[in-house]
């Protein structure tokens, strides 16, 4: 993965110097050799094993979402990466929030799940706290002013490392079903070794952010879709309670389920990593913005035709 502003500047400069050859590469990639071309020929791919016949439409829809996000950034005056990222975060379903009683039930559920069936629940605020005794969930919930607004991680007792094929599955439900979803997520994490961990936003913000619940999965889009459907069944949540919202530049799998891949070792998350791609494209010149976006996606390790996926070309 690309790291550091100087490296990104070098990449942008190199891409600007190779505009002509890059156009050729992009054209060839769109015609042959990519995941979609592999699918059309009926061959398998680690990331497309079970992609539906509408893969091209799904990729186009995902790219359109990314392109619209990028155009909003382009219309801003010298946006920072954080400015671009905020566009992503603000594109939320804005569901009806939980009642005070529902929020308390959600926090009680987090405490009840912690330490049971090989699962640890901890606030993301404690990511850098090494000593488990200092990660006191009950104390945090009782004392922290952010307890209802911050993310919580749901982690298996025995650490599962991410591999090069890691992706994220975002799950969207009406906030009143968030407690039910969280229980199902903890159960699924305990049973499925392909899931490295999950996270859920605090109850005051659930449904008010673009990605209120996430599972991190070692596998491909087919694996993520299978686990997502299993989660739906296990949860018992009515289908109409899942939210029709796809975070920007993620690929919709079904109602309430969206997918995107990450680069091994990149800890920035989906939104910030794609904001970086847009930022790099804005600093390039010498060719249309759409072409710059595709070049930047490729340079940052993502599929220029589907920004939700890693580049396998």
If asked whether residues 123 and 242 sit together in one domain, one would say yes
For residue 45, pLDDT over 70 is answered with: no
The Cα angle at residue 224 between residues 219 and 229, in degrees rounded to 5: 150
If asked whether residues 9 and 74 sit together in one domain, one would say yes
Residue 193 lies in a domain: yes
Name the residue range of residue 187's domain.
100-246
For residue 38, pLDDT over 70 is answered with: no
Share of the chain above pLDDT 90, in %: 74
If asked whether residues 86 and 105 sit together in one domain, one would say no
Residue 13 pLDDT grade (very low, low, confident, very high; cuts 50, 70, 90): low
Residue 73 pLDDT grade (very low, low, confident, very high; cuts 50, 70, 90): very high
pLDDT attached to residue 313: 76
12 CA to centre of own chain: 25
Residue 264 pLDDT grade (very low, low, confident, very high; cuts 50, 70, 90): confident
Residue 306 lies in a domain: no
Q: CA-CA distance, 262 to 166, in Å (whole number)?
A: 6
Residue 166 lies in a domain: yes
CATH code of the domain containing 153: 3.30.760
If asked whether residues 242 and 108 sit together in one domain, one would say yes
pLDDT attached to residue 37: 39
Average pLDDT over residues 253-266: 93
If asked whether residues 67 and 180 sit together in one domain, one would say no
Residue 166 pLDDT grade (very low, low, confident, very high; cuts 50, 70, 90): very high
- Whole-model pTM: value is 0.83
- pLDDT, one tens digit per residue, over 280-312 is 999 999 899 999 999 999 999 999 999 999 998
If asked whether residues 142 and 231 sit together in one domain, one would say yes
If asked whether residues 106 and 241 sit together in one domain, one would say yes
If asked whether residues 163 and 34 sit together in one domain, one would say no
* Cα separations in angstroms, 265 against 2, 53, 160, 197, 283: 10, 31, 14, 15, 25
If asked whether residues 12 and 140 sit together in one domain, one would say no
**In this structure, what token pair is assigned to residue 50?**
């079970």
pLDDT attached to residue 94: 87
Position with higher pLDDT, 34 vs 172: 172
Strand, helix or coil for residue 182? helix
């Amino acid at each position: 993965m690309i790291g550091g502003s100087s490296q990104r500047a070098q990449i942008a400069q190199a891409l600007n110097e190779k505009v002509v050859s890059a156009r050729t590469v992009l054209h060839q990639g769109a015609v042959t050799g990519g995941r979609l071309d592999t699918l059309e020929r009926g061959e398998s791919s680690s990331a497309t094993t079970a992609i539906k016949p509408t893969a091209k439409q799904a990729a186009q829809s995902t790219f359109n979402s990314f392109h619209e996000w990028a155009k909003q950034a382009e219309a801003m005056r010298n946006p920072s990466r954080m400015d671009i990222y905020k566009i992503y975060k603000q594109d939320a379903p804005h569901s009806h929030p939980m009642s005070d009683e529902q929020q308390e039930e959600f926090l009680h559920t987090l405490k009840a799940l912690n330490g049971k069936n090989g699962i640890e629940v901890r606030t993301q605020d404690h990511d850098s706290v090494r000593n488990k005794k200092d990660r006191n969930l009950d104390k945090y919930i009782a004392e922290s002013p952010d307890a209802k607004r911050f993310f919580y991680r749901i982690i298996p007792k025995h650490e599962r490392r991410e591999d090069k094929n890691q992706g994220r599955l975002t799950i969207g439900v009406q906030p009143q079903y968030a407690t039910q979803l969280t229980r199902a997520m903890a159960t699924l994490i305990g049973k499925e070794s392909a899931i490295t961990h999950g996270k859920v936003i605090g109850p005051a913000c659930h449904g008010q952010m673009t990605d209120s619940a996430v599972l991190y999965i070692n596998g491909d889009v087919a694996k993520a879709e299978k686990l997502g459907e299993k989660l739906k069944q296990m949860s018992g949540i009515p289908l109409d309670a899942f939210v029709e919202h796809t975070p920007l530049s993620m690929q919709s799998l079904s109602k309430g389920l969206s997918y995107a891949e990450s680069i091994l070792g990149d800890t920035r998350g989906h939104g910030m990593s794609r904001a970086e791609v847009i930022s790099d494209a804005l600093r390039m010149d010498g060719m249309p913005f759409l072409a710059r976006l595709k070049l930047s996606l490729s340079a940052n390790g993502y599929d220029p035709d589907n920004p939700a996926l890693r580049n396998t070309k």
